[in-house]
Structure 1
Amino acid sequence: MKIIRVKRQTKLEKRYSVKMGELTTNVTYIKKHLFGLPVKTLHKYRETYYGIVKDCKDCSLAR
């Protein structure tokens, strides 16, 4: 059994962008797990319709 593990998880979330308005997109979280419990989120990103990977800091959750 590994003590520290890095896992990816994809969730469907609603995001808000100034140019596009509200959109529903797949957001991928990369988390560090210690003994199977999540400790820290290392990175989160989303993939656009055209296949471009963007950081989630570009879209805010509030208007």
Structure 2
Amino acid sequence: MRLIKISRKTRLEHRHTVKMGAFDTKVTYIKQTLLNLIPLKTLHKYRETYYGKIKDCEDCVLAK
């Protein structure tokens, strides 16, 4: 039995960019978890654009 697992989850988030303004997008998080219960750290997060291109989430700012 493995103690540390890698999990991938997608959720809807509100984002904001200078060119597009505010929009909703699906963001996928790749997390490292202990016993599939306790999250240890986020390894990577990315989003897919309308045209199918994969982008890193560092180029857009959260809108609040």
- Partners in 2 of 1:42 and 1:7 — Cα distance? 10
Instruction: Give CA deviations for 1:6-44 in whole Å, capped at 9, x if unaligned.
Output: 000001000000000001000000000012211000000
Percentage of identical aligned residues: 60
Aligned-partner Cα distance in 1 for 2:22–2:63: 10
Gaps of 5+ in 2: none
Report the TM-score, using the length of structure 2 for normalisation.
Answer: 0.92
Give structure 1 regions of 4+ aligned residues with deviation exceeding 3 angstroms.
Answer: none
Q: How does 1:1-63 map to 2 (within 5 A)?
A: 1-36=1-36, 37-62=38-63
Read off the aligned partner of 2:57 and give its amino acid letter: C
Aligned 8 A contact 2:30 2:44 in 1: yes
Q: Output the CA distance in 2 between the equivalents of 1:9 and 1:35.
A: 16
Aligned Cα root-mean-square deviation (Å): 1.2
Residues paired across the two proteins, number: 63
